[in-house]
Chains A and B, each alone.
Chain A
């Protein structure tokens, strides 16, 4: 007998509201319906009523965690329209802030994944290591989140020279901590049992659903906009694109952890380049935007962000289209969730990193009798943790 479990649209932990309806047969999920649009704010239309220079402030509020990626893709779209190249120093500053954001986003995800598994230690550790990162972002850009760094033709603030040693020190420290976290995940038999072979998204399915970012790279689908469409200083730095084989939740976690090391590597190269540079312009003044259209692509922590702008020669965009990676990635849940238990469903939906946006209240509806049992987000996390405990006992740990 198939029952329906609505998950969402609210949840108390994090991120945008989404709504999933799980169709369950006993413990096993057989189908999933996905509804999005709860936090639809009409940003595209709003941006068509703002001047070119005001839009970066708006698009960095598309998503609080991707608040470097969206303005990056937007300014690249306008610069594509203008056919200009920004000053070299500005290019490096952009990459530094963007990669710092990737680090904090991946650490945030690792913490939350630990929280859902019942490893609150991982949650607390990951978020503790994230704090020095936010301090650096505050020192460099003036705010912990929402950096307001991007501007068409360059950046708004120069990187203070006296901060460079602090950034290096923070990176050294973070590299050790990230190593520790990665090893903790790779070595833990309980995490293996909970996440290996769960929510598998193979390469063919990645292509079919258009999965992006770490979700795709975990499934052996080798795409990364930083390498495929190199922009700014990404052309001058060396980094590896991390790709895993299996596409399960475990691989998605490993890809993100290993990407942190690559991000640290990129930031170090950028700092070297800036130190060697001895000053320089950070902004190319733009007088006006001629009619035309431009595309901007950037690899956000969750995948490829795409912005399109069209200008009719006025001081505002005539059309501004935004495509965020989570839109593609959320849909992959349709394939990955069915076949697994309800306790796994939360973990799988979290693994694509829209996080667990939706588990504020869950009602189990008995389709035949209309009888309704209400579960909340606590119950779901409890179910997930009970499964971890069960596996721990079976493995004879603790």
Chain B
């Protein structure tokens, strides 16, 4: 087993333990569970960062030539963004989702690589092009931000429902305040949306240089990217321009994540990296 695989395995374990600790803390509200969850999250981020770095050294190119690698990168970005949310807003209630998602992404990636994904070295030359690297990095980071914006929307809707219906009020104080999750969700989209725009633009620049299979303009992934971009643009317009109530914009974020994951996973002839 290579060094990067060992570190990745350890980070998976930390993701799982972190998700379980923070999930248990939601129910039991024990300070030590919260501390353990946060520690596992930091450890996972460090180990996973080490695994990705070591992988770069091992294969001598950026670590997203295979589906497993790009899933791993997405998992890492989700964890980093979650740690940022923790530092800014103490949003540990989003931890079970964020760390659980990271664990699942790495697990799925491990399954895909086990099933025989394409060897990374043959893409080294392609990845030397800045536009491609930027295209992938920006898009993956944007999807990571959208995933966490989804968790904020889910927390908002749950808290909103409890406060309106007055059922399960014991849960109210276990969840973050409405205003906090609403602001957090907005900030994540405000980060993710320009990144997605950058990803699409760099993809278009690369496509303009030629060399892509014919019909890339009508490729499923290309079209879906524009749909996702439109959904989040609609969210921003609804929130900033139309003064929609947060409970309505939260549903846009829920739909947005479903489309983002589809964007990530949909097969595409023009996007070899996600095969």
A-B complex is real: no
The chain B residues found within 8 Å of chain A, CB to CB, are none
Residues in A lying within 8 Å of B, measured CB to CB: none
